[in-house]
A = this chain, B = another copy of it.
Amino acid sequence: MTPERLSLFDTTLRDGQQTQGVQFSANEKTQIAQALDALGVDYIEGGWPGANPTDSAFFDQRPQTRATFTAFGMTKRAGRSAANDDVLAAVLNANTPAVCLVGKTYDFHVDTALGITLEENLANIRESIAHLVAQGREALFDAEHFFDGWSANRAYALDCLIAARDAGARWIVLCDTNGGTLPADVGRITAEVIAADIPGERLGIHTHDDTGNAVAASLAAVDAGARQIQGTLNGLGERCGNANLTTLIPTLLLKEPYASRFETGVTPDALARLTRTSRMLDDILNRIPLRSAPYVGASAFAHKAGLHASAIVKDPTTYEHVAPEIVGNARIVPMSNQAGQSNLLRRLSEMGIEAEKGDPALGRILDTVKEREAQGFAYDSAQASFELLARKGLGLAQDFFDVERYRVISERRRNAKGEIVVESEAVVTISTRDGPVTSYFKNEHPQEMQDDGPVNALWQALKSDLGPWQARIDDMRLTDFKVRITQGGTEAVTQVVIDFADDEGRAWATVGVSANIVDASFQALVDAIEWKLVRDTAVSKAAE
């Protein structure tokens, strides 16, 4: 069976921009468009030229792409010709090879939102699409509220699609604009539309996640015969978001019946960059990536349950529906008080530490993990602190430095001009094989709300002079800082988890716990440095 082509239409830059709190700059749009092109989608919808200054600027500077660049707009307004509609003209002036126009197909909306007659709306669809085609553009028609419209007035909704079809629309996209249509209904109605002579090869599906079913509804439409899926990276979009292409793409490429039946523009190489592409978008938006995201989330291949972890050691397919590396993700077997010895052995082996099954140290390490988790430590999100604990338990720890003392001061006061300023400073003394080393940091330009606080001061001091080890930590960066108030025995304590990265592309996390948030943070900072020193030592030993 020759695979059929399935078209992927990305609207991250248009519907994705409707996400609350999201506002792309023109340069960010360019960066995302390039990533989408590298991923292999067929269409990139860039925004609505003329609707706002950013979108207009972006279309002026849009990158060259293999994907068909698409401008979004709406069907012409009543009472003027398509050629004389200035809103439509602005869309066409962006000179994209394809144009997607949204139009009404639900009689209630024609009446309530537009206040025009049903026939006027049909004429708007027909004439707008014909105008695009006459201008040599590929025309797409977004049938807004189509599923609600079909359920309320099937004949009229169909007339709208026929108007677009006969005017020459390449794609007619069935939009579940309010996101309320369940997958079974999306599948049934799509089949009914095809039976009413709108060919599946010209039908697209555009869903929203208001019932948590956007992905499933897209698949249901494809099952019924639609051949274009519209969605966004990471499921960005109005309200609860659009169908998540980051989820749909691996499902379409890896899982049956889709893998055998269809082909898309996404290559295996591009699929192996999917996790990175997803994280890049979060980076641009300065969002913390969703750990639980299908395929690309940091937890998507994390096996915490003891039963699962022990079977994964025997055979990864026991608890994984696809292999993590296919989508550029990685398996995690986190430590927690639910994990057993086989989990521990596997974790150690991944860290390059070989231990014998039955070694009494393993039981002691598990006991220590349990005891410290009861105090508030969280080793499943702080693998580096866990590794240090395990190395100490196995007698494999090397002593690089000891902390003799730190002192950190935060102060709010009035400066010479009488303005309130906040400033922090820290001093740290460590002992090393070369003797004591004292480091110091002070925020030299205090202004209100501009001081980064005592933890930053400690970090800046500590990493500025580590004596004989300084060169080894020069490339360390603190990338995220999380604080949680939790129970340590009977008292509330502060749990701090800090993420780090270095220039070799490593990323690691450590944990500290104390009633004193500064001391909890300091523990995590010291662990992070020790882990980096241990790892670099292990690497240089292996190279010998």
Contact = CB atoms under 8 A, between A and B. Distances in A.
Contact of A182 (B251, B337, B414): B251
Nearest to A312: B113
A454 B184 contact: no
A354 interface: no
Interface string A48-69: 0001111000000000000000
Interface residues of A, number: 125
Nearest to A409: B409
A459 interface: no
A431 B485 CA distance: 33
B305 A338 contact: no
Given A112-B311, A247-B211, A20 B302 contact: yes
Interface stretch (A38-46, A155-163, A319-327, A466-474): A319-327
Nearest to A522: B412
Oligomer: number of copies: 2
Interface stretch (A77-85, A444-452, A527-535): A444-452
Nearest to A443: B516
B492 A240 contact: no
Interface string A149-180: 00000000000000000000000000001111
A303 B237 CA distance: 11
Interface in A419-453: 422, 424, 449-453
A180 B332 contact: no
A30 interface: no
A301 B20 contact: no
Contacts of A217: 216
A384 to B, nearest CB: 15
A178 B17 CA distance: 33
A407 B238 CA distance: 41
B411 A407 contact: yes
Interface string A462-484: 00000000000000000011111
Nearest to A288: B288
Interface string A287-312: 00011111101111111111110110
A127 interface: no
Residue among A102, A338, A370, A480 with most chain B CB within 10 A? A338
Contact of A412 (B178, B212, B302, B406): B406
A23 B336 contact: yes
10 contacts: A20-B334, A25-B486, A178-B320, A178-B321, A182-B255, A209-B294, A210-B294, A210-B295, A212-B215, A451-B519
Interface of A: 17-21, 23, 25, 27, 51-54, 74, 102, 108-109, 112-113, 177-180, 182-184, 209-213, 215-217, 219-220, 223, 235, 238-241, 244, 247-248, 251, 255, 286, 290-295, 297-308, 310-311, 314-315, 318-322, 332, 334, 336-338, 370, 373-374, 378, 380-381, 403-414, 422, 424, 449-456, 480-487, 490, 492, 494, 514-519, 522
